[in-house]
Amino acid sequence: MMIFENRNILYRLCIPVFLILTLFSCKTEHNEKKDELISKAESVIQDTTEDKEVKIEENKRFSSEDIPEKYMEIVADTLGVILDIRYATENNFTKKQIYDCPRCFFRKEVGEKILAIHLDLKERYGFGIKLFDCYRPSPYQYRLWEVMPDPNYVTPPKKGSIHSRGMAIDLTIVDKNGKELDMGTPFDYFGKEAHSDYVELPDQVLKNRQLLKKIMEIHGFKGIRTEWWHYSYRGLKGNVDKWIWSCE
């Protein structure tokens, strides 16, 4: 009987001890996981920041010496930015090659905002940006005008495009695989379907355009009514520039 009671006491003692040990080990495991997640998140944050600084620095180095100090270049794959400079190919609405080679420059303040937009999209949605046109040297604007002397399609060179001030951009959003989001029309489609106030479009297209508009506006850009892809930066003033990048 005594032995039985002792066993009983032993069992009674064992159960709480077992429970405490289990809870303790679960809690330790839980804390370890939590710590691991926190450190992973911190390393991602650090990586992104370092990546951004290094690449912007690299970017500045990529500019050749005769590039004006106030400009910076965005080279292909900077932070994953895709370049598809259409006027350096025949794949544009004029069907002629306007630029001698594809390069992408902006006024520094603008270029840095554009990289920030790309990172913002990447962090929020895993998306990125694809650039169709950046700084457009005034001599190229004349070339474009020669091919298409119609103010409905091309800003008259004498008036001067904001692209020629290094403060305008033509772009779209791409998903994590680099595939363009459906914006309803291709870039440089000149019809009412490309207008930002045209709403007879599938919901997803309207949402995609809205996302582009929202992210651009957050970073200080403003769109125009007739081209969903065109945005210009409002925080700067500047004259038309005529320097042309080298193709060597």
Least Å distance between CB 123 and Zn ion? Answer: 26
Indicate which single residue of 84, 170, 188, 241 sits in contact with Zn ion (rule: CB under 5 A). Answer: 170
Question: What are the DSSP calls for 190-220, one per residue?
Answer: -SGGGSTT---S-HHHHHHHHHHHHHHHHTT
Spatial distance between the Cα atoms of 218 and 235, rounded to a whole number of angstroms: 12
Least Å distance between CB 227 and Zn ion? Answer: 6
Judged by CB, which is closer to Zn ion: 170, or 241?
170
| Tokens (6 digits) for 75 | 């080279």
Assess contact for 194 and 212: CB atoms under 8 A.
Answer: no
Catalytic residue among 109, 112, 180, 227: 227
Alpha carbon dihedral 122, 102, 186, 179, in 10-degree steps, equals -40
Assess contact for 182 and 147: CB atoms under 8 A.
Answer: no
Least Å distance between CB 47 and Zn ion? Answer: 33
Interface with Zn ion includes 230 (CB under 5 A)? yes
Choices 58-66, 107-115, 214-222, 227-235 (CB under 5 A): range interacting with Zn ion: 227-235
Helices (H) and strands (E) counted in the chain, each on its own, are: 4, 7
Instruction: Count the residues of the shown chain that bind Zn ion, applying the rule CB under 5 A.
Output: 2
227 annotated active-site = yes
Judged by CB, which is closer to Zn ion: 209, or 230?
230
Interface with Zn ion includes 84 (CB under 5 A)? no
Least Å distance between CB 166 and Zn ion? Answer: 12
Binding site for Zn ion (CB under 5 A): 170, 230
Residues with a catalytic annotation lie at: 227
